[in-house]
Amino acid sequence: MSRRAAISKPEHVSITPQRMDFAFEDVPRHWFRNDPVLTHFLNALSLTFPDGERFFVDAVRAFRDQVTDKTRQAEISGFIGQEAMHSLEHDSFNDMLASQGYREEAEGGQKLARHLIKQGRERLSAKQQLAATAALEHITAILANRLLKDPALLESMHPSVRALWIWHAIEEIEHKAVAFDLYQDVVGSYRMRVRTLLAATLALGTYTGKYTWAFLKKDGLHRRPLVLARGMWRLFGINGVLTRTVPDFLTFLRPDFHPWQEDNSALIAEWRAILTAQGDVPETALPTAQGQH
């Protein structure tokens, strides 16, 4: 590898996949702050995860043989393992949504996500797929940071699903630089990375908007202006869930951006300790043996 980013993952952060096997029991329909819009926004995102994360894994795998550094190879193995586990857990979360009465929405949403990702695989070059992965990993990392930085937000999630979102958020932060570092090493184009971020944001925004709406429609809440306005304010108003990610989102546009310029490793250590203390994270993790994937 000719180039290494000046900034890299803190050494004490390990990228270690864990099998969780969450059982989602007695999940209320509006499990996030008792708010249909917030809940369905995350439900819609979850529909994209199983296939989306498989896309990320394949995009990274396509270039991993160009990485000679052993530490970086181990990080890539960790990334692949973590994303594979996320796909499994969100598969079962999405099955739970179907069993809650949203079968049509859950199946339709996953089918559309699969179709869009298939188009991406066919139409984008391998380098563009890696750029899309780095961009979408930036989006997931800043959303993860937003969730973990706001305990009140997490407290407002029903306990039956809270651990899933905390665990996923922790791991997204742990591996937030893997796809980015690989992109910088094997592609490196600033223009492609910025263009792809804008396109990926537009695509993901359109998709989540469409499926948030579909879930709301199923609830018969799509014509309830007060419910919609309150939810939109909680997403896009001052201090909204998404509004407060905007400064972090924009950091990606800096030519010298690196995901670990913001060292939020203390945050993930804190939440991992909380999950472990609650018995939500098994003490023994799956190994990240090099070359395992």
Contact region for Fe ion (CB under 5 A) — 79-87, 89-97, 211-219, 235-243?
79-87
| Shortest Å, Cβ 172 to Fe ion | 5
Q: For the CB of residue 257, give the shortest distance to Fe ion in the complex, in Å.
A: 17
CB of 90 to Fe ion, least distance (A): 8
- Nearest approach in angstroms of CB 82 to Fe ion is 6
Q: Which residues 2-31 are close enough to bind Fe ion by CB under 5 A? A: none
Q: What is the 3-state secondary structure (H, E, C) of the chain?
A: CCCCCCCCCCCCCCCCCCCCCCCCCCCCCCCECCCHHHHHHHHHHHHHHHHHHHHHHHHHHCCHHHCCCHHHHHHHHHHHHHHHHHHHHHHHHHHHHHHHHHHHHHHHHHHHHHHHHHHHHHHCCHHHHHHHHHHHHHHHHHHHHHHHCCHHHHHCECHHHHHHHHHHHHHHHHCCCHHHHHHHHHCCCHHHHHHHHHHHHHHHHHHHHHHHHHHHHHHCCCCCHHHHHHHHHHHHCCCCCCHHHHHHHHHCCCCCCCHHHCCCHHHHHHHHHHHHHCCCCCCCCCCCCCCCC
Closest to Fe ion by CB, 33 or 175: 175
**Span between the terminal Cα atoms of the chain, in Å:** 21
Half-sphere exposure of 69 (CA within 13 A, CB side): 12
Nearer to Fe ion by C-beta: 172 or 181?
A: 172
* Residue closest to Fe ion when measured from CB atoms: 86
**Touching Fe ion, residues 217-256 (CB under 5 A):** none
Specify the residue, 231 or 260, whose C-beta has the smaller distance to Fe ion: 260
Report the site for Fe ion in 166-205 (rule: CB under 5 A).
Answer: 172
Count of chain residues binding Fe ion (CB under 5 A)? 3
**CB of 45 or CB of 216, closer to Fe ion:** 45
Q: How far is the CB of 87 from Fe ion (least distance, A)?
A: 8
Q: How far apart are CA 158 and CA 39, in angstroms?
A: 10
User: Closest distance between Fe ion and the C-beta of residue 64, in Å?
Assistant: 15
> Smallest distance from the beta carbon of 17 to Fe ion, in angstroms?
11
Please tell me the distance from the alpha carbon of residue 249 to that of residue 222, in angstroms, as a whole number: 29
Segment 80 to 139, residues that bind Fe ion, using CB under 5 A: 86, 137
16 vs 219 by CB, closer to Fe ion: 16
- Closest CB to Fe ion among 17 and 109? 17
Whose Cβ is closer to Fe ion: residue 204's or residue 216's?
204
Please, what is the minimum distance in Å from the beta carbon of residue 142 to Fe ion? 12
Cβ proximity to Fe ion: between 172 and 185 the closer is: 172
Please state, in angstroms and as integers, the Cα–Cα distance from residue 82 to each residue in 91, 162, 255, 292, following that order: 14, 18, 28, 13
Residues lying near Fe ion in the complex (CB under 5 A): 86, 137, 172
